[in-house]
Structure 1
Amino acid sequence: MSDTSMSQDAAQDPRSAGYAERYRAAMIPVFGTPQRVLVRGQGAKVWDDQGREYLDLLAGIAVNALGHAHPSLVAAMTKQAETLAHVSNFFATGPQIELAEKLLRLAQAPEGSGVFFANSGTEANEAAFKIARRTGRPRILALENSFHGRTMGALALTSKEAYRAPFAPLPGGVEWVPAGDVQALRSALADGDVAAVFAEPIQGEAGVLPLDPAYLLALRELTREHGALLILDEVQTGIGRTGRWFAHQAVPGVVPDVMTLAKGLGGGFPIGAAITFGPETTELLHAGQHGTTFGGNPLAAATSLAVLGTIEEEGLLAHVQATGEELAAAVLALGDPRVLGVRGAGLLRGIQLSEPVAPLVVRAALEAGFIINATGPYTLRLAPPLNIETEQLATFVAALPALLDAAVQAAAHEEEN
């Protein structure tokens, strides 16, 4: 069946009638009004309930590493679901153990390292938070502009006051230091009572802001010097997103004590992980001190193994590096004065605008058949599937000047009214 006929079938499906209204009536409105109701995906494309086609340049916010309905994921899910989907963590399963071993190899973790499986990035960061607490030291540092999740512990690490204030009091002992300021970091660590420093190699929700390699190295050296853990949140940057398995691997000498993962790890299936590096960190949590019902279930683990295996088999790390550089160069080559720069690495990119119209660009892009998002008034974020084709990205680059025109015009219209 062709894409056209399948999209027409989706539009005519009576079950899709009134989805938007039904959403408003049935859901707690924490996500606001949905932009569209999506019913099907294939590769880097998705279709809505009206049969309209979109190029997905966000991939579920860096989640759908292999795009939509990739054959290897479908096969892995189907095979495992027919065998064993869930057993609880009173028991072990082959996929769970194999995935842990695979992640430790990819992370180049030393002997005595370990993996805790969760269901999301925020849960992985909760586990890391508890590991930090087990050191017995009272203070935890995070970086300004950080985002680590929305559960109470992960939220306590997130710097944005607007996210935290409605839920105070949050777990205490967390302080923030300016990202990139080595002297501020050194001063904050000086008393020797810091348990851990949390950091994202690229601050995704803040606008795709990469940490300078020298600062990332200073984080490692200063935390080691003062006996604090370095906890790297690679929820958004891990699993090939930047063209390396994990973003910190671009900086020689940077090896964390704990690394958290999720998003691309399951390729769309919910799974997260906290990886400890070395026995001293692994042994901080003892039996009964943490747990989860669904974490590392065989269905999630088998799907993740398929994601990792496909990235290797299809040579996607090299593809992501090359394609990401081509994308950034093509955007800059437009010579549009409204584009000030392109940040990020691989296929996690932030396009910096000269005017505060990013949300309006997102709206115009959706109307034109592109899914992107804005991390603020001046920044567009792109995080497409790792296997997206250069030609597909080129269609967005070619459309960008017109999208900017539409956004500027819409902004002027809003001002007039």
Structure 2
Amino acid sequence: MNTPAVPVAAYAIGDQRWTRDAPGFADALTKAHENHLRPRCLCLPGQQGIDMYVARLVEGYIVKRMPNTGSQHATNCPSYEPPAEFSGLGPLVGTAIVENPSTGETTLTLDFPMSKLPGRGAQPPAARSSSSVVAHGHRLGLRALLHYLWDQAELSHWKLGFAGRRTWGTVRRHLLQAAENKFVHDHALLGSLYIPEVFSVEQRDAIQSRRQRLWARGAPRHGQPQHLLLMVAEVKDIAPARYGHKAVIKHLPDQAFALDDALYRRLGRSFEHELTLWGTEPDLHLLMIATFRMDEAGTPSIMELSLMLTTAQWLPVDDGWDRQLVGALVRQGRSFTKSLRYNTPGNQALVCASLLDCGAAPYPLFVDREHRPDASPPEKFTVPTPNADPTVWRWRPALGDMPALPQRQLKADPVPSAVPAGMEGIPALALSAS
């Protein structure tokens, strides 16, 4: 028996109730910000609401969830996110990621350099051979930063109505919005972030001009530390060049990125599985996050990088088992979030994905890659059942085919009501349309 879908995107501001698309909602947010009022999300019927806050962005005001409250919302609320322990996010909240509700700003602590001293490489003397696949301590490595931006943009979320709506233009727009109000060493992340625009022959000159203005911020200055830039882009090819190697980026046909021989060798060692799967599965996207510098001739050279595979729907996957499970979820029209590892090593157990259409709680899906008959997921990954016995969906690929997925209990939502985290004041269709 299906339970009715929980109402979403309704807020109480003072003694008034608002929906995101209601006339006057933008003015209500402006007044709430000026008077330091906290909107309350009314996604759970019969309750007083969950405190939110109003933040100011370049184009206006938005409603954001309070830090560490995402799992308190209804599973089909735009502000919902699974518990932090379901992914690798948990240890980083409050340490590497510090959100200030008073200002709407988030401070990020990175595990990689964003500058290069004259005459020295950007990496420390004991350079990591892993190309920043795994960072140590409570700081964001390159992969963790990419996962954080992906989560903040809610590109790790999926609903039936998203099918056919995600293009690179959509992905880029969401990532840039997610990077707003994020700061590193008191500098805005957006000031250093390059994400290629969708290429157009008619707009070639304008696109190139905008790109050069951003890249000029990383130009070397005599006797001063060189500012490094950060790139998130889809890889088209990694190949030998006339000198060294190069990374060819999609939507950037007129400029490749240089890789020195040492970095190229580390790339092959650290990302062998990702590169092999990408090379054999034509529907997968290969995403790169990298720091790069500009040389005196204006050529970009990659200093440090990490890679991430995604499906055709831009949902991140770690390996072939991930890809098979996510593919089944998409084909069946399920509502779910894909868990991301951040700094967590690949051999540590994590939820693969969480179903959001199985009731009031997320239903974790666990892939057992250890191939041990006695292996079981940690208790924090289990879901209480009506008879009080904890259960979990578990697939052991070495022992058989994927089991049937848990049955849907909430009504499927064909309209993409979820929006990027922290952007709940913007109509969902406007954000999700390609």
Asked if TM exceeds 0.5, the reply is no
- TM-score, structure 2 normalization: 0.28
Which has the larger share of strand?
A: 2
- TM-score, structure 1 normalization: 0.28
